């Protein structure tokens, strides 16, 4: 986190799930009061990290005027490849394809945070750039910014989130 970020913005909470606890899915279901249904791993990772970050910030819900920004280097890698394999096998628009879409992830994260508003996803390799871009034009309700990665090539899955509010 750069010094410039901390001058104009205050970090209300920072949550990192790396490594994920073995029972992270059970923790998410307990916190939501239900098991997420019909969502892929990437979306569940985003929901888990975002909800935990808000809990650490002491917020029951993301404020209406806040922005939600999510980044990844690969997005829903597993669902994308599974969907392509299903298409190759002759399936017409398999459900797995829907799990690969960032818009579904953003909608589910918004729902688990009891929030609707300005949300976007970006493929990004530089979290500092994501944080700089996310702050531009953000209002007094601040931001919830996350980096979510699935397991791939021996890399562990991770979900890292920042709740930022103007200083």
Handedness of CA 75, 15, 37, 112 (dihedral sign): negative
Q: Mean pLDDT per 10-residue run, the chain (167 residues)?
A: 59 94 96 91 95 97 95 74 72 68 89 94 85 88 94 85 95
Instruction: Give me the residue label for tokens 């931001």.
Output: 143
Determine contact, residues 18/149, Cβ cutoff 8 Å.
no
**pLDDT tens digit sequence for 42-63:** 999 999 999 999 999 999 999 9
Burial class (CB in 10 A: 0-12, 13-18, 19+), 119: buried
């Amino acid at each position: 986190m750069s010094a410039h970020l901390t001058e104009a913005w205050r970090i209300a909470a920072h949550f990192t799930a790396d490594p994920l606890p073995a029972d992270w899915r059970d923790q998410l279901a307990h916190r939501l009061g239900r098991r997420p249904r019909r969502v892929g791993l990437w979306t569940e990772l985003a929901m888990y990290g975002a909800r935990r970050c808000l809990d650490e910030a002491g917020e029951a819900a993301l404020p209406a005027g806040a922005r939600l920004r999510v980044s990844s280097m690969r997005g829903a890698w597993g669902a994308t490849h599974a969907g392509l394999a299903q298409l190759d096998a002759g399936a017409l628009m398999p459900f797995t394809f829907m799990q690969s879409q960032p818009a579904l992830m953003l909608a589910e994260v918004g729902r688990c945070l009891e929030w609707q508003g300005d949300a976007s996803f970006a493929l990004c390799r530089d979290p500092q750039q994501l944080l700089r871009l996310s702050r531009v034009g953000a209002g007094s309700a601040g931001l919830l910014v996350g980096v979510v990665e699935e397991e791939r090539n021996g890399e562990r899955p991770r979900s890292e989130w920042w709740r930022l509010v103007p200083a």
